[in-house]
Amino acid sequence: MYAAWTVKHKPKTLAEVVGNEEAIEKLGSWVKSWDKGVPKRRAVFLYGPPGIGKTVCVEALANDLNMELVERNASDYRTEEAVQRFAGLASQYGTLFGKKRLILFDELDGITGREDRGGVGAITSIVKAAQCPIVLIANNAYDPKLTTLRFYCQLIEFKKPPAGEVMKHLSKICKSEGIAADEAALKFVAQRSEGDVRSAVNDLQALAQGKTSLAYEDVSWLAYRDRKEAIFNVMRLIFYGKSADAAKRALDMADVDADMLFEWIYENLPSHLNEPSDLANGMDSLAIADLYRGRIRASQDWTLLRYVIDFMTAGVAMAREKSTPSGFVPFRFPTRIRMLSKTRSERQLQGQIGLKIKRRCHISANRATKEILPYLRIIFESNAEMAAGLTKWLDLDEAMIEYLAGGKRQTKQIIKI
């Protein structure tokens, strides 16, 4: 059965973790210092680029010291109430069987938005009074919104491991999988990962899974870490996966979030399921996934995300029953995302005009943009005198006038009036 190699070959002990010996030693010393009493800093903040082993290091340390690890993704606990429910009591009381406890808040970057200030404040309060070690993890510890929390933590920086260390890790994986790999091939993959161990393992799996040998020629086409290249590998696993589990786990290998992956699948599904009945079933699965996405946006109930992932990965993969590959079919970048990028400035301008209308007409900016703005464009394009009066009343600038008037000539006439 398919299994992501990042999970299958995850280090179980600190001795197996790739690189960052100094950071690992600091973390271990800090955790062990709790044996002598509560230290001055009751939390440690691990930071550094993604994919270099921060989370794996904490999990391996807990395993080495036989500690109970209470681990959560911080982005799933965005409010003060949610944080307290998860970590409040856990940080104050011991375990049922007397084991030492270690609390881990991963991906702290995910709760730094304006709506999440309650969550950050709650974590700070918990850290100040914690009776067990707490580990926080983020890519950037120096986000201004984390200033207060950072003051109460010991900072430990994790750096990208050298290519030689990554290559050794890849070599161990190949031996475990029964793959005879050329040293030059593994060195090439390690160098192209630019220190991202997780990406290197993902690349190795995409290149070597199902083979008994791996030569330099098999990997020489591999580009430097590139979001499009990673998504291509993920798309192949979804569209041509042999099991639902394989398709679901493909998301773990993606360098894009679930919403962007949805757009990639939607764009490419018709090209890769060439049997009408298969395509209909695949689109049905995507439609259900999109329905759950809408419910998440409306309710902020992120537990529904599991259904989004199930339907857009496993649901699409299992829709393939009669479709057969017809030669090489390239994956295309999502058209909808490309169009949104091209029209971003126009949409921003529409939003600004909508706010102007909102203040004068006492309606929502969204309603103003949809219902009032189209009529304004007709007026500005055909009646310069009335447009001049509206310009003054709404306090529009030249860029807004030009957008509504549809050209520089009409804009100059309106401004002159």
HSE-CB of 243 using CA atoms within 13 angstroms? 6
376 and 253 in a common domain: no
113 and 54 in a common domain: yes
353 and 257 in a common domain: no
149 and 95 in a common domain: yes
43 domain residue, yes or no: yes
CATH label of the domain that carries residue 119? 3.40.50.300
Among the candidates 289, 314, 339, a domain finishes at 339
139 and 65 in a common domain: yes
356 domain residue, yes or no: yes
313 and 356 in a common domain: no
395 and 371 in a common domain: yes
What total number of domains does the chain contain?
3
248 domain residue, yes or no: yes
310 and 405 in a common domain: no
333 and 273 in a common domain: yes
CA distances from 389 to 126, 180, 240, 361, 376 (A): 58, 78, 61, 15, 12
Among the candidates 286, 317, 339, a domain finishes at 339
Residue ranges of the chain whose pLDDT lies below 70 = 1-3, 73-98, 110-119, 221-230, 252-256, 325-328, 337-344
167 domain residue, yes or no: no
Q: Which domain holds residue 394?
A: 344-416
d(CA 214, CA 122): 50
Among the candidates 312, 339, 366, a domain finishes at 339
The verdict on pTM exceeding 0.75 is no
Amino acid 248: pLDDT: 77
369 and 306 in a common domain: no
312: amino acid identity, one letter: M
398 and 335 in a common domain: no
User: Which pair of structure tokens corresponds to residue 92?
Assistant: 């104050």
Burial class (CB in 10 A: 0-12, 13-18, 19+), 301: exposed
108 and 24 in a common domain: yes
383 domain residue, yes or no: yes
398 domain residue, yes or no: yes
82 domain residue, yes or no: yes
327 domain residue, yes or no: yes
